[in-house]
Amino acid sequence: MVQNTQFLMKKTAYLFSILFISIQLTVSAQNLNTPSYGQTDQYVTDFFRQVRSKDTRKVSLGSIKGSPYFEEEFIQGTIYYKDEPQDQTVFLRHNAYADEIEMTANQYQYQTDQAVVKSTDLSCTIGNDRYVYLPYVDKTSGIVKMGYLIELYKNNEHTVFLNKSKVYMEATQARTGLERSFPPRFVDDYTYYYNTNGDTPIELKLYKSKLREIFSNKERFNSFTKRNSRSKENTSQWLIDLFEYMHQ
């Protein structure tokens, strides 16, 4: 009888502690996600300076060829909350494999446990690139997913984006003397997206026939493409110039 009583007391205490923790987490979440009018700078600071959860796709980098970053150094940037720039000095870099904006207060450190909270209310600039967190239609699956896109061009009708990502490829062993073996590696992937009148961005296919379909003035499009050639190296600027020309 005494053992049963002790067991019930321990069980009750355990359930009470779980309930208390749940309440605390709920209150914390409400405080984070429900900003109030006249919120302080500290609120915004806490909002984007949270320690990130460890990404489940992390891999050991020691034996992998390449890097998960296009730029490994942290660069001074600006974080925007609902398009309002925040005053805090931060240094940022984009982890193109995990699709995270990593953050530190020290420009010269290499690793950090902090990242900008993934929210459509938050955007940031790193150097000359403006990163926005948006839903877009994935080019491979055709499913809407959330992720960071670099905003290249924007007007009242069209917005053009670039998605820069790193794809992890497993090691492959040559099966014959005519084949090559490859170590595990990161592979660069560049995909362009665009939207019309604020719709969910879709892939911007770079064939002339597909680009021509976007615009009503076909003759003006033909005039631009005859006078301006596109290469792999100048694609981003070429698209900016094209959309600017078509909207003049």
Name residue 169's beta-bridge partners.
185
Q: How many CB atoms lie within 10 A of CB 22?
A: 10
Encode 80-99: b = buried (16+ Cβ within 10 Å), e = exposed.
bbeeeebeeebbbbbbbbbb
Residue 219 confidence class, pLDDT cut points 50, 70, 90: very high
Q: Tell me, what's the pLDDT at 34? A: 35
Q: How many CB atoms lie within 10 A of CB 133?
A: 19
Least confident range of 57-71, 152-166, 213-227: 57-71
Q: Tell me, what's the pLDDT at 46? A: 53
Q: Tell me, what's the pLDDT at 137? A: 98
Tokens of 32: 């984070």
In terms of DSSP H, where are the helices of 34-155? 41-48
Is a pLDDT exceeding 80 seen at residue 247?
yes
Tokens of 174: 């040559």
Mean pLDDT of 83-98: 93
Delimit the domains of the chain by residue range. Answer: 1-34, 205-248
pLDDT digits (tens, 9 = 90+) for 197-211: 999 999 999 999 999
pLDDT digits (tens, 9 = 90+) for 116-133: 999 999 999 999 999 999
Encode 44-63: b = buried (16+ Cβ within 10 Å), e = exposed.
beebbbeebeeeeeeeeeee
Mean pLDDT of 173-193: 85
